[in-house]
Structure formats: C-alpha cells, structure tokens
Amino acid sequence: MNIYLIGMPGSGKTTVGKSLAQKLAYTFVDLDAQIERNALMFIDEIFDKYGEQTFRKLETEALIEVKSCDQMVVSTGGGIVTNNENKEHFNGVVVYLNTELDVIEKRIKNDFPRPLLQQQSLDQLFNKRMMSYIFFADVIVDNDHQLEKTVETIISRLKEEGYLK
C-alpha cells in the first residue's frame, strides 16, 4: 500500500513525506521531482513553455507510473486534485495535510516561485481547491506545528483506520 500526501503548496508534503517514509521504512517519492526528471525541465519552465494543461497531463502520467509500486510515500503536487481522474490512480491511502494559510505563507515566503501563486493569492487558490482536497482524502491531518507530531499523528490515524498494522 502506498501513502499519498496531498495539500496546498507549502503544506509540508515533501518534508512530512520524507520523515514518514523513513519512520515506516517506505520509499519516498516526490511527484514534482519525478515530473521534472521525466520532462528534463523545471516545473516553472513547463508552465512557462507549455502551460498548466500540459503540466497536469505530465502530473497524471507520473502518478500512473508510481501506481504499480508498493510501500511508497508519495508527495504530490498541490494541484493534483484539480483533475478528478487522478483519484482513480491512487493505489493506497490519501492523506490531506490541512495547514493554516498563515503557516503556509511563512513557509513559502522565501521559497522558489510557484507558478500558480504568481497569478492568484494563496487565499484564492485555497478556496478553489479546499473541497477537492476533502473529496480526495481518506484521512485528514493538521500540519501546523511540529514535524514529528504530524508524522506520529499520521501513523496513529492510519493504524486506527486499518491502513497500517
């Protein structure tokens, strides 16, 4: 079984994913990094050169690639939920990292430029995606505080729900 982390840009999917994978002795995969390797260009370059629609197609292809694997923690891109078809490509449990917007703003303040946040505010993006995150999620965990606490909460919730032994 794979564990997929979804959430807003800056919600901590990669950071939590690496720690969670290490704790569970799973393989960690960053879907955005896989897209960049497959396309031989950075995500912002894909957006600039080919647009969001092409990026979303590459995102779905990368998701399908990991579908056949097992015991992976997969950090997805924040917009994976914008394509409802992607829901059928998750072969495991989907964990939504619910993170307060003010926490996200602090985290991404000095981060690399995120293509969609150049066109709209974080609030606008959240309002567009919130219901999709909930629709996709099997488990919802808050990630506003300490990394270890978040990881332990995920493991605990996955055990409670019967996804982990």
129 marked as binding residue: yes
**Type and span of the H or E element at 5:** strand 2-6
Residues with Cβ within 8 Å of residue 116, at least 6 apart in sequence: 9, 52, 78, 79, 125
Three-state DSSP class for residue 116: helix
**Type and span of the H or E element at 92:** strand 92-98
13 marked as binding residue: yes
146 marked as binding residue: yes
107 marked as binding residue: no
14 marked as binding residue: yes
Q: Which residues are annotated as a binding site for Mg(2+)?
A: 14
Q: Which residues are annotated as a binding site for ATP?
A: 10-15, 114, 146
Q: Which residues are annotated as a binding site?
A: 10-15, 32, 56, 78, 114, 129, 146
Q: Which residues are annotated as a binding site for substrate?
A: 32, 56, 78, 129
